[in-house]
A = this chain, B = another copy of it.
Amino acid sequence: MLLKELRTAVLEANLELVRRGLVLYTFGNASGVDRAQGLVVIKPSGVEYDELRPEDMVVTDLNGKIVDGKLKPSSDLATHTLLYREFLEIGGVVHTHSEYATSFAQAGMAIPALGTTHADYFYGPVPCTEPLSDEAIGGDYVHETGLAIVARFRGTLEDAEEGRDEIDPMAVPACLVAGHAPFVWGSDVSDAAHNAVVLEAVARMAYRTLTLEAEAGVVTKALLDRHYFRKHGAKATYGQG
C-alpha cells in the first residue's frame, strides 16, 4: 500500500481530533504530505470516524489530483494542497470547527496572545482572514479559502508600507478563516493535530479572559520570546529532548 505509514498517521490524527472533542459528526479533516514524493494523504469526505481504516485515506498530488483511493477526498482538499504549496515547511494540516476557535472566527477576531499557554505555541496573535469576497465565494471557493490564509500571512502592500512584518507560518501555525473556522498546521500531521487541540484550549481561555476583562492586555514581547523559544528552536529547554 502506497504511503502506509503516512496513511496511518493521518488516520490517527483524525481520531485524535475526535477524542479531544474538536469534532462533531464528520466536521473535521486532517492531512499529511510526503514532500519527497509530492503526495498528500487526506481523510475521505463525510465518512463516519469509527469506520475509517488506513486504506480509506485518499492520496492526491500537490494539485489535488487523486493518485490513489476509491473514496472522494475531504471537500476542503484544495485548501490543504494550497497550504502545502505555499508554506513549504509544513508537513500536516488540520481543519476543524472546534467551537471556541470557531467563535472567534465568527466574530472576525484574531485570538490575541494573552498568556504563556498561547506563547508556548503561537508566537503572536492567531490571525483571522479578511472575509472572502462574493466573487471568491462564488468562484473556486475552497482554493480561495487557502488564498485568504496565505494573504493574511504574507501581508498586503499596505501592511508592508506600514512596516508590519509577514507572519511566519511555522511560528504561528494556525489561522482563523472569517465566518468559518480554524485551519491549523505543523511539522507533520500529528503535530498539526496537537496544535489544533492547544488552539482550542487557548481560544477557551482567551474567550473567558476577554469576557471577564475586555481590556485585558497582551503578553509582552519579552514573555512571548521567553515562552515560545522555551519550546521551539535551537535553545529549547522543555521536555527530555
- Which A residues contact B (CB, under 8 angstroms)? 24-27, 44-47, 71-72, 75, 97, 99-100, 102-109, 114-117, 131-132, 134, 137-138, 141, 179-181, 194, 197-198, 201, 204-213, 216-217, 219-223, 225-226, 230, 237-241
Task: Check A219/B103 contact, CB under 8 A, given A71-B240, A109-B212, A226-B141.
Answer: no
Determine which of B75, B220, B239 lies in contact with A46 in the assembled complex, contact meaning CB atoms within 8 Å.
B239
Task: Check A103/B220 contact, CB under 8 A, given A117-B97, A179-B116, A238-B75.
Answer: no
Judge whether B72 and A116 touch: CB under 8 Å: no
Which residues of B have CB within 8 Å of A239?
26, 45-47, 72
Docked Cα-Cα span, A211 to B210, in Å, equals 10
Judge whether A208 and B99 touch: CB under 8 Å: yes
Which residues of B have CB within 8 Å of A230?
75
Which residues of B have CB within 8 Å of A25?
194, 197-198
